[in-house]
A and B are shown apart, each in its own frame.
Chain A
Amino acid sequence: MKISDLISALNLSVFSGEGGLNNEVNGGYVSDLLSDVMGNAGEGQVWITLQSHKNILAIASLKDLPGIILVKGIKPDRDTMDKSNEEGVPILGTGDDTFTIAGKLYNLLHS
């Protein structure tokens, strides 16, 4: 499944990083602790978080994550979006809380 498939299936908005819309998704990772994601997220997992600091892009690129979903209507800062465009890692948004969007993503990937 691609990031673009997630966007239409889960009704996500796209803030930035359109260059990475074809990135391949094979799972998800949920955490708001950047060091935890750095240590434990796996390649191909889309990251669900409330963190919007630009450091999320460094972590996502380091771990080859295909995209980031910001929850609860949180919007990324300008420099976070710039970094997302540079790295080609899309930042997506949802009004759902973490529990809800993670459940939807799980069902989508396992249906």
Chain B
Amino acid sequence: MMKEYRADLHIHSVLSPCGDTDMSPARIVDEARKKELDIIGITDHNSTRQVKLVYEIGLENDILVIPGAEVTSREEIHNLVFFENFNDLQSFQSYLDLHLRKVKNNPRLLGYQLVVDREEMVEYEEEWSLAAALDVSIEELAGKVHSLNGLFIPAHIDRFVTSIYSQLGVFPTGLEADALEVSWRSNPVEFAQRHPEINDYPLVTNSDAHFPDDIGRVYNVIRMKEKSFCEIRMALKGIDGRQVIQGKGSRDHAITGSGG
């Protein structure tokens, strides 16, 4: 029996230097609940250190939190990565710690990078700038994520900065991506029509929220059997009638006739 779940897979917490100080785990989940989301992805820049608490609070509120990050490759391309469990997430955090170029953060210039607890008290402050890039290529990064059984989704490919197209000019052939993200600014169906070279990839659209109000401004409706990481993976592959219907919730880019 298929059900439809609402998923916003690209949300920044207070740990991201550009994330609003209101984006605590409790607030994020509260906002997701208000927006009637079933699934959210926590994707801070180049760190996974705030995910676990969001996951726990999500569980208590019947919201599935997919652990992940938004990772900057050597070419300065942003990529969403997701993992099924905290073992794999921890392995990936070690990889981030090894490959992030170490530049001391200056909160005044680049923003605060805080991990907070349930009561929104500061538990940890990241000393290395999460605005830096890793020293690995996008292909190497995709390979690492897949070796940990994760999902690899290049972020906001329609943007003129920090996207595949802005940094590489043309789409790299044979890139092993599980989906591509079109930002909330664009209509994914129209974008795909202009770019036939990406027609083999499923698309997702997410809020890329840095402020509570932005959470769920667009989301995906995922048709699948239950809300789980495995089912999301199968929905991206379109297995047995599972399906991702992207671009929901956007007023300016309402999508019709795309199977949803």
A contact residues vs B (CB 8 Å cutoff): 33-36, 38-39, 53, 58, 61-62
Contact = CB atoms under 8 A, between A and B. Distances in A.
B106 A62 contact: yes
Given A33-B76, A62-B110, A38 B161 contact: no
Contacts of B109: 58, 61-62
Contacts of A61: 106, 109
Interface residues of B, number: 13
B129 interface: yes
B161 A53 contact: yes
Nearest to B133: A35
B101 A39 contact: yes
Interface string B148-172: 0000000000000100000000000
Nearest to A60: B109
Q: Is the interface of A mostly helix, strand, loop or mixed?
A: helix
17 contacts: A34-B76, A35-B76, A35-B132, A35-B133, A38-B103, A38-B129, A38-B132, A39-B101, A39-B132, A58-B109, A58-B110, A61-B106, A61-B109, A62-B103, A62-B106, A62-B110, A62-B129
Interface string B85-114: 000000000000000010100100110000
A27 to B, nearest CB: 19
B131 interface: yes
A35 B72 contact: yes
A39 B132 CA distance: 8
Contacts of A35: 72, 76, 101, 131-133
A62 B109 CA distance: 7
Given A34-B76, A39-B133, A58-B109, 10 more contacts: A33-B133, A35-B72, A38-B131, A38-B133, A39-B101, A39-B103, A39-B132, A53-B161, A58-B110, A62-B109
Nearest to B108: A61
B138 to A, nearest CB: 13
A36 B167 CA distance: 13
Nearest to A87: B109
Nearest to B167: A33
A88 to B, nearest CB: 13
A39 B129 CA distance: 10
B134 to A, nearest CB: 9
A36 B101 CA distance: 9
Nearest to B134: A35
B131 to A, nearest CB: 7
A35 to B, nearest CB: 4
Contacts of A33: 75-76, 133
Q: Which of A35, A36, A38, A62 has the most CB of B within 10 A?
A: A35
Contacts of B76: 33-35
